[in-house]
Structure 1
């Protein structure tokens, strides 16, 4: 059984490996394995993850069974819009997907921002599994954007939003 808890610095090597595995499983067919390797080498390296862990307006969670991590999630207040949380990452290792781990991490992240009234995320429109997950958890498509990061700059994204609170 996996329990959701706040991540610690000691988790970051495992989180980095988890992200590399889930990104390859999810995005190799969309971006190519080489590009995914380049992205994970920078975006999911321990120093990059540590900077997220240290953010004061954010929450970084992992799903842990005492032996391994099955998932991770990271959300932070969005500076561009007051009272809005940006869900940056929610990933579960492929072998543990569809077992409620993503749901449990998402439920924890929703409660970490009591002053927020909305959560927003961006997702590749070709990522059918993620879109189905987010739709099942109350998100609706509210717009479109494009990646601005150098490795995937210009790749289209769909923007989804969910109201939070009462």
Structure 2
């Protein structure tokens, strides 16, 4: 049984490894191994995760069963929309998917922003499992971006939104 809790610095190496494994399993066939390795090195390194953990208007959770970190989620108040929160990451190790871990982490994250009226996220259009998950949890497509994540990633994504409250 996995329990959702706030992440700590001691979790970051395991979270980084979880993200690398999950990203390769999910995106190698879409972006190629080299591009996935490049993105995970940039976005999922321990220093990058440590910066997210330190952010004050954010919540960083893990799903922990006492032996394994089976999933992670990270959301923060939007830097561009005063009343919005952004779900930046929600990943579950492939061997633990379809057990409700993503649902439990998301349920925790969506309650962490009492001042937010909505939550947004970006999702790879070819990631059918993620799309189905987000649609089942009330998200609808509101747009698209050519640069998912940060800066000029060159990764296209759908932008989805869900009302909160």
The residue number in structure 2 matching 1:26 is: 26
Secondary structure of 1:71's aligned partner: strand
C-alpha distance in 2 between matches for 1:115 and 1:150: 27
Matched positions, count: 164
CA deviation after TM superposition for structure 1 residue 151, in Å = 7.4
CA deviation after TM superposition for structure 1 residue 39, in Å = 1.1
Task: Give the TM-score normalised by structure 1.
Answer: 0.96
Q: Is the 8 A contact 1:12 1:46 kept in 2?
A: yes
Secondary structure of 2:113's aligned partner: coil
C-alpha distance in 2 between matches for 1:65 and 1:161: 30
CA deviation after TM superposition for structure 1 residue 152, in Å = 3.5
Q: Is the 8 A contact 1:144 1:159 kept in 2?
A: yes
In the alignment, structure 1 segments of 5+ residues that lack a partner are none
C-alpha distance in 2 between matches for 1:112 and 1:58: 8
CA deviation after TM superposition for structure 1 residue 150, in Å = 6.4
The residue number in structure 2 matching 1:97 is: 97
Task: Give the TM-score normalised by structure 2.
Answer: 0.96
Relative to 1, partners in 2 of residues 1:82 and 1:151: Cα closer, same or farther, differing over 3 Å?
closer
The residue number in structure 2 matching 1:37 is: 37
Q: Does 1:88 align with 2:99?
A: no
Q: Is the 8 A contact 1:2 1:101 kept in 2?
A: yes
Relative to 1, partners in 2 of residues 1:150 and 1:55: Cα closer, same or farther, differing over 3 Å?
closer
Deviations 1:56-98 (A, max 9, x none): 0000000000111000000000010111001000000001111
Root-mean-square deviation (CA, aligned residues, Å) is 1.1
Secondary structure of 1:111's aligned partner: coil
1:143-154 alignment to 2 at 5 Å?
A: 143-147=143-147, 149=150, 152-153=153-154
Deviations 1:86-136 (A, max 9, x none): 100000000111110000000000111111110000111111110000000
C-alpha distance in 2 between matches for 1:9 and 1:47: 10
C-alpha distance in 1 between matches for 2:4 and 2:146: 31
